[in-house]
Structure 1
Amino acid sequence: MTQEQCYLLGYIVKTHGTKGQVVFHLDVDYPDEYEDLESVFIEIKGELVPYFIENINIQKQSRAIVQIEEIDTIEKAQTFVGHALYMPLDTLDELEEDQFYYHEIKDFSIIDQEKGELGFVREVYSVSTQNLIALDYKGVEVLIPIVDDIVLKVNRELKQVVVQLPEGLLEVYTETHKADDSDQNDDEN
Structure 2
Amino acid sequence: MQKEDCFYLGKIVSKYGFKGELLAKLDSDDPGQYEELESVFVSLGNNLIPFFIRRCQLHKTNLLRLALEDVSSEEAAERLMGAQLYLPLALLPELTGNQFYYHEVVGFRLVDQHHGDVGEIKGVNDQAAQPLFMADKDGKEVLIPVNDNFIKKVDRQDRIIHIQTPEGLIDLYLGES
Give the TM-score normalised by the residue count of structure 2.
0.76
Partner of 2:134: 135
Distance 1:143 1:50 in 2: 37
Shift of 1:135: 2.6
Q: Deviations over 1:77-132 (max 9, x none)?
A: 122122221111222233335432233123534332222333425225389xx872
Change (3 A) 1:60 1:106: farther
Change (3 A) 1:161 1:62: farther
Change (3 A) 1:169 1:31: farther
State whether structure 2 residue 35 is matched by structure 1 residue 42.
no
Please identify, of 112-121 and 71-80, the stretch whose mean Cα deviation from structure 2 is larger.
112-121
Change (3 A) 1:113 1:105: same
Shift of 1:69: 1.3
Q: Percent identity?
A: 34
Whose helix proportion is higher, 1 or 2? 1
Change (3 A) 1:159 1:3: farther
Q: Helix, strand or coil: the match of 1:94?
A: coil
Change (3 A) 1:16 1:154: same
Distance 2:48 2:146 in 1: 31
Shift of 1:26: 1.0
Change (3 A) 1:161 1:79: farther
Partner of 1:146: 147
Please identify, of 100-109 and 67-76, the stretch whose mean Cα deviation from structure 2 is larger.
100-109
Change (3 A) 1:54 1:33: same
Give the TM-score normalised by the residue count of structure 1.
0.72
Q: Give the unaligned 5+ runs of structure 1.
A: 175-189
Distance 1:136 1:40 in 2: 33
Tell me how many residue pairs correspond in the alignment: 169
Partner of 2:77: 77
Partner of 2:124: 123
Partner of 1:165: 165
Q: How does 1:5-24 map to 2 (within 5 A)?
A: 5-24=5-24
- Which residue identity is paired with 1:110? L
Distance 2:65 2:23 in 1: 5
Verify the 8 A CA contact 1:110 1:121 in the aligned structure 2.
Answer: no
Verify the 8 A CA contact 2:134 2:141 in the aligned structure 1.
Answer: no
Partner of 1:186: none
Verify the 8 A CA contact 1:106 1:124 in the aligned structure 2.
Answer: no
